[in-house]
Structure 1
Amino acid sequence: MYFLNPSAFWGLFVLLIPILVHLFSLRRVKKVYFSNTLFLRTVEQQQKAKSNIKKFLILLSRLLALSFIVLAFAQPTLLASKEAKQTSKALYLDNSFSMQQKSAVGESLMGLALTAINNSFLSPQKQESSIFNNEGIVRGSRRMDINYASSNLKNGLSKLRTHEGFNSVNVYSDFQVSALGELASLALDTSINYKFIKLEVRNNPNLYVDSVYLANPIGVFKENELIVSVGNGGLEDVKERLIKILKDGQQLASYTQDLAAGGVMNLSVNISSNEDVFGSYEVVLDDGAVVFDNSFYFEILPLGKNRVVELGSTKTSYFQRVFANEQLFDYQWYGLDNVSSEALNKSDLIILNGLSSIPDWLINQLENLNKKVLLIPGETSNLEGYQRLLGVRLERLNNEVKNSLSTETLKLPYFEGVFNADNDRVSMPSVNVRYKINGFYETLLETNANEAFFVKSGNKPYYFFASDLVDSVTNFHKHSLFVPVMYRLSQRNSSTDLYYRFSTSLIKVRADSVSSNDLVELHGRQVYIPSYRFVGEDLILELPETLTDPGTYKVVVGTDTISSIALNHPKAESLLEAYTADELRAGLADRGNVEVESIDSSKILSQVQSEGNDRTALWKYALVLALIFVILETLLLRFAK
């Protein structure tokens, strides 16, 4: 026998009430004067003994009546003999977000699994059994509640290997493909017998945001677009669903879209004419089947000044002019004898202009920094250092012919958004190409004679002009084309990401002029303290495991807010494709300790019903006994003398 509601036994404290009433219900003695009480003493003693017995019986009836009422509320249940056996079975509930999917009866998979677990497996003989979800063992309650977590089944199953005390486990899940990965790589304890209970679902659609990005870097380009890539990770087509894009809580754009199952589409917002593009954004999806990913957050932040360092033998006026805008650039010129490692480390673009040779110490430092570097050789430069940095072979030419740069190269992706669509009639600068490049590189500008002029090293962020920038060789440095090319080149290697996922291990935030001794906090709906470290002018954050609520968080160092980051659930959670029972059996056929059962909502409910039929509820008998003792008390009060 066990009790479905053992907390009702707290009601036994009510038994103190009749006991206290009994103890304090003594009547005051009333004096009656008689001339002779000799004959009354025997009668008094006999009446007093009868009264005490009556009061005791009444008290006992009241106590038993109240006791059986409390017992009825505790719902005593008698187990069938087959249930009364001890078991060492554990229960595992996959509580990932994909369990929000609807079953055939319209209830979530999580709700159905909880129904089965809470009603079928939590008998007193099994209450010592371990109960797990993706976050680990569940303690402190015999009943499990809905608690979704951004963690996957594969990681959760691996944690079972660290626990003892059971030799079999029932696993309730939809067995999402993105959560399990390849079945052959699934780590299972060979000493445990697994029963995978595959919860069958109806075909559900699920809109999610695949990615958000800007077509071009913010700041210096004429045109730009915000691209929002939306996917359908479900198994059913989406029809006429509303998608809204909000900026700082105000609607920026809205769309009504259809999307096939498994499809991805791009939505674009023209932001080139909107000067105030910086702020907090949210994409809101009208999707009722799986709701955890209906909001997606991202930030467009000001990038600050681009830091440009030029190293050369003499200052060049054309670089000074092109980077003269102090709102966009922090330009500094140094000679090789006075440049500091700190200046190089803080820079976004390093220009080596006309150096007769590149010393080994500078080559080593540049390779360690992995910064953007523009190399412009002089007429008599030693090419060894240039070749070493670029990873190509340079051959000096004796070419005296100038050719115009081709307009076709302006259509390359590198210059997308920089120029107007029609560049065929643009007057292009002329150049006398002095160096032939042999090796792995990408051509960004070339002449009409197919001579590479401006190239990028194939596997490094290093750029090269195939001639020195002097008037006798080229007019490129005086042409209007020079400005947008330099602006494009000066953009940072990797601007701040618009958003992050909780699966991101480390987040880098630029932290200029802050003290490394100050405490770093993330301020959102709650305040979190992440693990962090300062590396140069960057702050490296490691998200705490307790941070699971998507949204926008302010990065606060001491009392200063230095940046914002937008956090979202991993994309894999939104992909609802799941293994079928047959695929599980085939993929785990070589595992002798794994059994697979397919179960739908009707089967779960019928199992719960049958489990209930194997038990005998005793609360009705307790209620009848309570009623009997109430009647007995009434009879004692009415007829007993």
Structure 2
Amino acid sequence: MQFQHPELLYALFLLLIPIFIHLFQLRRFKQVDFTNVAFLKKVTIQTRKSSQLKKWITLLLRLLALACIIIAFAQPFTATKTALNTEKETVLYLDNSYSMQAKGSNGPLLNRSLQDLYNVQLPSEKISWFTNDVTRKNTSLEDFKSELLSVSPSQGQLALSEVLLKANQLFSNAEASDKRLILISDFQQNEAFPEIPDEVTVNAVQLQPVNTNNITIDTAYIASKNGNNMQLKVAVSGSGDVPASVPVSLYKGKTLLAKTAVDLSSEKKNTTVFDIETSGNLKGKLELTDPNLAYDNSLFFSINAPKKIKVLSINEVNSGFLQRLFGQEEFAYTQQTQSNLNYNEIPNQDFIVINGLKDIPASLAVALQSFSKQGGSVLVIPSEKANLSDYNNLLATLGMGRFTEKVSAEKQITQIVFDHPLYENVFEKRVVNFQYPTVNSYYQTNTNATDVLRYEDGNPFIFQKNNTYFLSAPINLENSNFQNSPLIVPTFYNMAQQSLAVPHLYYTIGQQNKFDIAVQLMEDEILKIKDSSSTFIPLQQTKANKVTVTTIEEPATAGTFEIVKDADFIASISYNYNRSESNLQYMDIENWEGANSSASISALFDTIMEANNINSFWKWFVIFALLFLLLELLVLKFFK
């Protein structure tokens, strides 16, 4: 037991005063002689004994009453250490990811948790709380409960380490305060449990669905293309107890184009193919029916009229290999010689290849620098008889270092930078044993640019800065067999493809997505992205003959959108939710060291309120004081 005013307990020493008065009172009994002396002596003794007993009882009751009054003024109470801490901070994390749409015993997990939070009694007058897409600091309980009604599912999901980091930003720096973090989530399996800071108390409620069955459309991609006909391959997967097959429908807008069944009986993952005839823009949607999670039952995609990538090669040596690479229907390939080069054509290109020029005049270097600054991509293949002064001037102009000398020695190209964007999704695994291409002579390079391919000694064979690529050796057949190497196709092909990053079939919401729109904008003109209900202006960079568009936070909903300039339609773009929420596998929070788990939201808050309760006893001591005073009156009146 503790006391709010313990200094008042010193008043208990005052109880000694009536004790001293009682023990040292000087009043004496007077002797009275009567005839029958023996009888009178007996009466006197009995009267004296009964009088002393009555006084002791009266004294005891008065002392107890006075002691109870003193203790009542000292205000005794019992409480836990948490309850005694006057400064308490509560931060609440509510997981509103799409996996929380799974159905629990009382309906969807997110809806049930919102209702329970609205009904519980919160432990403090202010609370900081956040979801995967909303953060509020020190809000009143009224504002908290009113904003709960507007919480909706979000495509993002914070990892537990990110939750702890964000909660730490919402806590104050006060070391003496009691910091409590409440997590309400299904704890979908995405990482190991992080370590909990010593100064934070973590309470967790794990919401569990009644079943973990789910079917999802994982992805779609163009498997092959022939003229206006293409094959769209769709991957479908199932987890848990799923049916043997599921129908998948293909829509163009609201029109049903085709429907097929996907077999899930064996590996619970399969693909199906749709044959599509496209002669223009296609706003498509794939759809299946699944009663559990609904967000991953649809996948939007869009196919725009193809835009040819303009490739220009400026040659002084044989360019047959470039013709074979870029003479495909997705490229508009032209070639010129240095002697009859039309400089007016350079700004209209997407990708320019300098192929084996001995000299690079200053006018060409300036034109290439301007072209690169406007967003164009350049590939420079040096000549065996290159004028190092001209090449170093171009390298310096582009900020890519310099060639120091020519070395006539054979060297193998053995190192592929697999993480480079040029080789994304090119290799199934990191190949270390392959038929290495070689060069018979090369230029020693001093550069701080990014390597794409390296020689066996680690020096760069292809290096890149921004959108410009340089080779450090000629690749004509007399000097190298690189033209016959399998590496040349993905390397040069992807250089050209990335010079005009046309929109993909679809993009994923919540990630940084970047693509190019082949359109020329006048001053003050901008591109907008819109659907039937909303419009937003994306981050965009205007270049000579294209606009580079970047989207990050918007759009927030899946669907197919239109890219427009004023009221003119330019292209279609589709966005879908991340499929990571579709795997209904969960962690066991009992294994999270340092976390306190509760069976339900209401049980958690009842426990917190009980831990924060202060049990005060001063009323009981007032009642006991009145009771002792009443007993004293009864003793004085009825005790004989």
Pick the TM interval, shorter chain: 0.5 to 0.7
- C-alpha distance 519-120 of structure 1, shift in aligned 2 (>3 A): same
Which digits, 9 at most, give the CA deviation of each residue in 1:136-158, with x for residues without a partner? 23773525335212232334554
1:107 aligns with 2:107: yes
2-structure distance, mates of 1:553, 1:466: 46
For 1:296, the equivalent position in structure 2 comes to: 299
Contact in 1 for aligned 2:279/2:305 (Cα 8 Å): no
Task: State the shift of 1:290 in Å.
Answer: 0.6
Asked whether the 8 Å contact 1:530–1:542 carries over to 2, the reply is: no
Alpha-carbon shift at residue 304 of structure 1 (Å): 1.8
Q: Secondary structure at the match of 1:142?
A: helix
CA deviation string 1:596-637 (max 9, x = no partner): 34x3xxx668999999xxxxxxxxxxxxxxxxxxxxxxxxxx
Query: Is 1:570 matched up with 2:570?
Result: no
- The SS at the match of 2:562 is strand
Query: Residue 208 of structure 1: CA displacement?
Result: 2.8
1:347 aligns with 2:353: no
Q: So what's the TM-score if we normalise by structure 2?
A: 0.55
What is the one-letter code of the residue matched to 1:547?
A: P
Pick closer, same or farther for the CA change 1:259–1:458 going to 2, 3 Å: farther
**Aligned residues with identical type, % of pairs:** 19
Mapped partners of 1:270, 1:572: distance in 2: 28
Q: What code does the residue aligned with 2:576 have?
A: N
Q: Which residue of 2 aligns with 1:206?
A: 214
Task: Give 1:527's match in structure 2, choosing from 534, 545, 560.
Answer: 534
Letter in 1 for 2:311: V
Q: Give CA-to-partner distance per residue, 1:499-549, whole Å, 9 cap, x none.
A: 111222242232421125124322113333334231424434444646311
Residue 325 of structure 1, CA deviation: 11
Q: Structure 1: 5+ residue runs without aligned partners?
A: 1-80, 398-412, 415-432, 443-455, 469-475, 477-485, 612-641
CA drift of 1:324 comes to 9.8
Cα 1:580–1:395, aligned 2, differ >3 Å: closer, same or farther?
A: same
| 1:116-515 equivalences in 2 (<5 Å) | 116-121=116-121, 126=124, 128-134=126-132, 135-137=134-136, 140=143, 142=145, 144-145=148-149, 147-154=152-159, 155=162, 157-164=164-171, 167-178=179-190, 181-184=191-194, 191-216=199-224, 224-232=230-238, 234-259=239-264, 264-271=269-276, 274-276=277-279, 278-313=281-316, 329=332, 331=334, 333=336, 335=338, 340=343, 347-353=349-355, 355-356=357-358, 371=377, 373=379, 466-467=476-477, 494-515=501-522
Amino acid at match of 2:187: F
Query: Where in structure 2 are the equivalents of 1:62-81 lying within 5 Å?
Result: none
In the alignment of these two chains, the number of paired residues is: 450
AA aligned opposite 2:565: V
Which amino acid letter does the alignment assign opposite residue 112 of structure 2?
A: L
Q: Is the 8 A contact 1:436 1:466 kept in 2?
A: no
Q: Distance in 1 between matches of 2:512 and 2:438?
A: 46
- Taking the aligned partners of 1:306 and 1:96, their CA distance within structure 2 comes to 40
- How far apart are the structure 2 equivalents of 1:214 and 1:367? 31
Query: Does the 8 Å CA contact 1:136/1:159 hold for their aligned counterparts?
Result: no
The whole-number CA distance in structure 2 between the counterparts of 1:546 and 1:323 is 35
How many Å separate the matches in 2 of 1:319 and 1:467?
13
For 1:376 and 1:164, how far apart are their aligned partners in 2?
60
- TM-score (normalizing by structure 1): 0.55
Secondary structure of residue in 2 paired with 1:298: strand
Range 312-321 or range 162-171, more displaced: 312-321
Structure 2 unmatched runs, 5+: 1-78, 173-177, 411-424, 427-436, 444-450, 454-460, 484-491, 609-640
Change (3 A) 1:355 1:113: same
Aligned residue number for residue 96 of structure 2: 95
- Aligned mates of 1:316, 1:129 — CA distance in 2: 69
Cα deviations across residues 154-184 of structure 1 (Å, max 9, x unaligned)? 3455433333487323211011223xx3433
Quote the RMSD (CA, aligned, Å): 5.6
Q: Which residue of 1 aligns with 2:4?
A: none
Letter in 2 for 1:517: D
Distance 1:140 1:258, change over 3 A: farther
CA apart distance, 1:191:
3.8
- 1:355-392 deviation digits (Å, cap 9, x = unpaired): 345689869969997847495979x7789979x99x9x
2:560–2:575 CA contact under 8 A, matched in 1 = yes
Contact 2:262 2:270 in 1 (8 A): no
